[in-house]
Structure 1
Amino acid sequence: MDTAHKNLSWTLTLLLLTGVLCNEWKVQYKQLEVCAVKGSFAVIPCSFYYPNAAKVQSVKWTHERNNIYTGPFIFDSGPRLRVVDLKIFVPNKNENETMKEGDSVNLTCINACDSSALTWFKNGEVINKGPGLYFSNISSTDSGNYTCSLKTQPGVTSRIININVEYGPKNTSVSVRPSMEVRAGSDITLLCSSDANPAVKNYTWFKMGHGNEIVGNGSKLHFREIHPRDGGQFLCRVSNKHGSQKSAIVSIKVKAYSSSLTRNVLIIATVAALLVGTTVIAIRRLNKKRSALRTSQETDDIQNPVYVNWPMFENNQPQQENHGEGKTTELIYASVDFSTNIKLEMQPQEDSHDDRDDVIYSTVCRAPQ
């Protein structure tokens, strides 16, 4: 082939290739800007065209930082992908600032790609949709962990923001163990409880009456072996940095010692005294019998009545003189009775007052003139 034919051949080939590359091979993108939330998925649509006689063997994607030509494509400027975070914050408030019951609070979730396709969660439960969450009068029940997420992809969430609503004491009450009515000598405990955030710091117990006397501090008021005078009306007052509250009054009634118990004690004491007395009497009788037996063995029989006649002379004259003058003599009669049960002097003195049979009777009579 001569030089002219060679040049013509190369020219035709170049023209054919130029027509193919410029008119039949191309790539098109429907979106030149693609936005996606971090952690979600993104779709970048594209269309490419090639000659009917050609056969596509592979399709590849590349990033601008490693844009190296490796095949017959003609590279065009591709779409731009932007990755953003879901952001949640509290406008006009520091996150570390204390939120008090009654405050107004606004939560905002920002999705730079699409702010309308958002869902709010509290402690994992769906509570609202949209970019904002507003509390006009926040309460303790609103405390919890809040997040926002993509409506189409609930698994893609923002960071957690914790709302901790503080408040003063409420629902303060007193409970009594074992009960508000007990017997004297029992142990009893009064417990004070309250709902507060932060927790109650100070507890004060009052006994109602003259001056409402302060009777204790702390969440418990304990009586050991309670006395009837300890009974009465009680309440507790609690406080934290946001305020204070008093409980309702509880009445403690202390029953006096049981009358049946006292009666039983008296019966036992009486029975014991009777037993002791009976034992003493039995012992004394036994000793008395033993003593009487010894007396009967150691003494002889003593004769009963002994009569004595004794003449009395007047003017202290001798007996002979009165007989001589023939005057009448005055006689004195005496009778003495000795009991056969009389005891020896050695008998114990404690029995003498009981032995009425041992008394000695004597009668002295003056004879008539």
Structure 2
Amino acid sequence: MRGVAMSLTAAASGFVVFLLSVSVIQGQDGWEVTYTSTQICAVKGSTVNIRCSYTYPSTMNGLVTKVEKRFWFTELNNGEHVDLTTMSEYSDRVQYNSKNEDCTLSISDLRERDSAVYKFRFITNHSTGKYTASPGVTLSVTGLQVQVSRLQFYESSNWAQLKCQSSCPLPGHHSYVWYKNGQNIQGQTSDSYSAYVYPADSFSCAVRGHEDFPSPSVLIQGQYGLGVTYTSTQICAVKGSTVNIPCSYTYPSTMNGLVTKVEKRFWFTELNNGEHVDLTTMSEYSGRVQYNGKNEDCTLSISDLRERDSAVYKFRFITNQGGNYVGYPGVTLSVTGLQVQVSRLQVYESSNWAQLKCQSSCPRPGHHSYVWYKNGQNIQGQTSDSYSASFYPADSFSCAVRGHEDFPSPSVYGPKLPSVSVSPSAEIVEGSSVTLTCSSDANPAAKYTWYKENVNKPLSEGPQLVFSSIRSSDSGQYYCTAENKLGMKTSQYKFIDVKYAPKHPSVSVTPSAEIVEGSSVNLTCSSDANPAANYTWYKENQKPLQRSEGSYHFTSISSEDRGNYYCMSENQFGQIKSLSLSVNVQYGPKRPSVSVSPSAEIVEGSSVNLTCSSDANPAANYTWYKENEDSPNASGQIFTITDIRAEHSGNYYCEAQNRRGRQNSTLHLIVVADHHSSGAPLLIAAGTISVVLLAVLSLSVFLWIRKKRASRNSSGPDNREQSEPEEQVDLQYATIHVSNSQADPLYSNIRAAQPLRHREQQEAVEYAAIRFNSGSAAPRTRGRDTGEDPAALYSTVNNTR
């Protein structure tokens, strides 16, 4: 059966009857409490309102009277006044009216063990201002019962008239629910029900809205007078006690003209295989089961009850005429042990104080004497079911019914030091599922709360803290608390170390400002990883540079080191590549290289380009100079002479410069006119003179070059002049061919350029030879005897007149 419990008040449908509806006034001198009724009967599962009001003098001894505390209590054996709201058995079921001078008490979800005498008490700010209203209100809680008001037997079935009622008559009109063999009988809403029944049918009833509190099931006597009647179908008993399950049975005195005799009768429990096994033959009940031997009385007695005795018990009898009958639905026996309930607790600096109660979910009829134990030792003189005392966190308490000391309650005690376990117990990897479990030995069972170090609020409640996909940020120290009504304990820290692959590396360069050639430079790579990552530096399109702890060091960086770098961060869980880091090395210009263009034959009067280039960062600026001229001839890489003439002869040098330095290279350009006398005599003389001059110049240059070479070969380091460069002079030649009539080809003399006085270092000197061809004869080839450089650069200028 299932249903929803509904709280109905006395003013509505609370199933409450005031057996003595008389106002009762107690007190004197202005102190009084009025109960609307002193005896109330209510049905199990309903809500009862015990109406009450009180008055007190407004002043006493010149002081204004104030009510500091008011509460309801029940009569306990030791006479203590315990507020109902602090007692666990009334938890969430008791409410007090908050209006002034109204002390009405409401109890919901009534249970049969709520039957008691209830009294109201209030305490004022005066030392003598305490008042308890006697005799109080007697509350009786009862359940519904099915009564068989009429029964008729027929050949194939029986007919019965049933009534759902209680010892507390229910005021007003109510709707009922009827059950046959546990199933709801649709359409039946009256408190009476009539129907044909069969031998195994059972019936119960409930008030609609309170289906959770039905009456016990009743079995109707069977066909031909065969039947079994159970006084109650549900019984609760305490472990160690003896229970009687009342039962009676009937059968016809004769059947088919023969006298009926009962040949066998026994009790059995429902087994998985459906067999009917006599309890007296079962070893677990040996010596503990008795059947009543009187005729038609089938009462079962079980002594020394154990919790495993909880079961459904059924009676069966067999007659001499083959008739046998089983009483359905049977009796459900629930065996429970004693429990110590903490009804009140106060915490002090050095110890705690508690009020304990020894009870069971099965109320014990009559008055009993109890035994109390503290840390396993009998507390002498304690015979009540309640006990109050100071205790320390390590103390434990238990109780027993006197005479049944072998069946004490479990001990109650505060939590022991909690332990924390982690699953999996091996390495924890980011993204995996991880469970932390907190456990503590405690009774009542402990409530658990999880915390993380340096986090101000709790993470969660419950014995387990679950990370479905743990993150690296979840690493840290964790702990839990275990708490019950008798105390609280905190576990030790548990460190969770989450392993994970490297995160995206960050790269940096030191210094972060401009990097100058020759300086010290560090490249640094860092990545969040657990365990710590290993790093490898790479230069783009090259092999790894080195494995390191994150830094790569240039003690003296060079221009060749410029480029893009990146690092690889890795551990056993993965690897990741950083973004590229550009290293821009700044340096002064390298020695410039110079060239003449075009390199083929150049016609006099045409354009000639002198080009200068140098490796530099930042890019170099270029300036061209001619020796013995104060101002630059040109700026830029290319110096263009648009109309080449003999007067353009001389030393030219280019200077490459940026903010990191400067370098020079020199080019020696000689333009000589060579004329033959194929025309006017003046032109021939000029040609002859030119030939002689050219020959003298060529011989002078040749002798000078040989002398210099000889000097270099013979002189040691100490004999060298300070202005002479140590390296081989780099020569370049340019020849300009001027064709003037039919003169023989002439070659320009070549001489070394004089070093500039303002230069601090020896500059490279490059030469350009310009040839004027004043005739039609073929130009002479230079031989080995001329002493000229075979790698000379030639340019030819043709002058045709």
Give the aligned partner of residue 43 of structure 1. Answer: 354
| Aligned-partner Cα distance in 1 for 2:513–2:459 | 45
Shift of 1:188: 0.8
CA contact 1:115–1:131 (8 Å) conserved in 2: no
Q: Which structure dedicates a bigger proportion of its chain to helix?
A: 1
Distance in 1, matches of 2:527 and 2:468, equals 26
Residues 246 and 140 of structure 1: is their aligned pair in 2 closer, same or farther, counting only changes over 3 Å?
same
- Please state if 1:232 is matched with 2:543: no
Residue equivalent to 1:215: 545
AA at the equivalent of 1:183: V
Aligned counterpart, 1:203: 535
Residue 152 to residue 198, structure 1, CA distance change in 2 (3 Å) = same
Sequence identity (%): 32
Q: In terms of Rg, which structure is larger?
A: 1
Match for residue 140 of structure 1?
A: 472
* Residue equivalent to 2:516: 183
The 2-side partners of 1:65 and 1:163 are apart by 40
CA–CA distance in structure 1, aligned partners of residues 453 and 382 of structure 2: 52
One-letter code aligned to 1:254: V
Amino acid in the other structure paired with 2:546: G
After superposition, residues 168-179 of structure 1 pair within 5 angstroms as 168-179=501-512
Q: Is the 8 A contact 1:149 1:156 kept in 2?
A: yes
> Normalised by the size of structure 2, how large is the TM-score?
0.25
Per-residue CA deviations over 1:3-42 (Å, capped at 9, x if unaligned) read xxxxxxxxxxxxxxxxxxxxxxx75999843689xx9957
Q: What is the CA–CA distance in structure 2 between the aligned matches of 1:68 and 1:128, rounded to whole Å?
A: 40
Structure 1 length normalisation: TM-score? Answer: 0.50
Instruction: Tell me, yes or no, if structure 1 residue 123 matches structure 2 residue 453.
Output: yes
Residue identity in the other structure for 1:43: A
Distance 1:203 1:40, change over 3 A: farther
Q: Measure how far apart 1:170 and its partner are.
A: 1.0
Q: Distance in 1 between matches of 2:503 and 2:560?
A: 31
Q: Report the number of matched residues.
A: 223
Alpha-carbon spacing, 1:261–1:203, altered in 2? closer, same or farther (3 Å) = closer
Q: Tell me the SS of whatever aligns to 1:203.
A: strand
Q: Structure 1: give runs of 5+ residues left out of the alignment.
A: 1-25, 48-60, 274-369
5 Å matches for 1:86-165?
86-91=418-423, 93-94=424-425, 97-111=426-440, 112-113=442-443, 117-125=447-455, 126-150=458-482, 156-165=489-498
- Pick closer, same or farther for the CA change 1:124–1:180 going to 2, 3 Å: closer
**Cα offset, 1:68, TM superposition:** 8.0
Whether the aligned pair in 1 keeps the contact of 2:502 and 2:528 (CA below 8 Å) is yes
The gaps in structure 2 that reach 5 residues or longer are: 1-76, 81-86, 88-337, 359-371, 386-397, 400-410, 589-656, 666-755, 761-801
- Say which SS state the counterpart of residue 229 (structure 1) adopts: helix
Which residue of the partner structure matches residue 792 of structure 2?
none
5 Å-filtered alignment, 1:1-369, equals 32-33=339-340, 43-45=354-356, 63=374, 67=378, 73=381, 79=399, 80-85=411-416, 86-91=418-423, 93-94=424-425, 97-111=426-440, 112-113=442-443, 117-125=447-455, 126-150=458-482, 156-179=489-512, 181-200=514-533, 202-209=534-541, 212-218=542-548, 219-257=550-588, 259-260=658-659, 262-263=661-662, 270-271=757-758
Question: Could you list the per-position Cα deviations for residues 47-101 of structure 1 after superposition, in whole angstroms to 9, with x for gaps in the alignment?
Answer: 9xxxxxxxxxxxxx984666586xxx4657963433443343235x32xx10001
Match of 1:12 in 2: none
Higher RCO (C-alpha 8 Å, min separation 6): 1
**Alignment partners' CA distance in 1, 2:660 and 2:339:** 99
CA distance 1:115–1:109, shift in 2 (3 Å): farther
Q: Which amino acid aligns with 1:262?
A: G
Q: Structure 2 vs 1, CA of residues 64 and 40 (structure 1 numbering), >3 Å: closer, same or farther?
A: closer
Residue type at the aligned position of 2:492: R
**Closer, same or farther: CA 122–217 of 1 in aligned 2, 3 Å:** same
Task: Decide which structure has greater strand share.
Answer: 2
Opposite residue 174 of structure 1, the aligned amino acid is V
Aligned AA (1:207): K
Describe the SS at the equivalent of 1:141.
Answer: helix
CA distance in 2, matches of 1:149, 1:124: 15
Over the aligned positions, Cα root-mean-square deviation in angstroms equals 4.1
Cα separation, 2, equivalents of 1:100 and 1:64 = 46
Equivalent residues of 2:445, 2:484 under 8 A apart = no
State the partner residue of 2:125: none
Matches of 2:459 and 2:585, distance apart in 1: 53
- Aligned residue for 1:156, secondary structure, equals strand
Tell whether the 8 Å contact from 1:237 to 1:247 is kept in structure 2 after alignment: yes
- The letter of the residue matching 2:437 is T
1:181 CA displacement: 4.1
Task: Tell me, yes or no, if the aligned pair for 2:509 and 2:522 is still in contact at 8 Å.
Answer: yes
User: In the alignment, is the contact (CA less than 8 A) between 2:415 and 2:482 conserved in 1?
Assistant: no
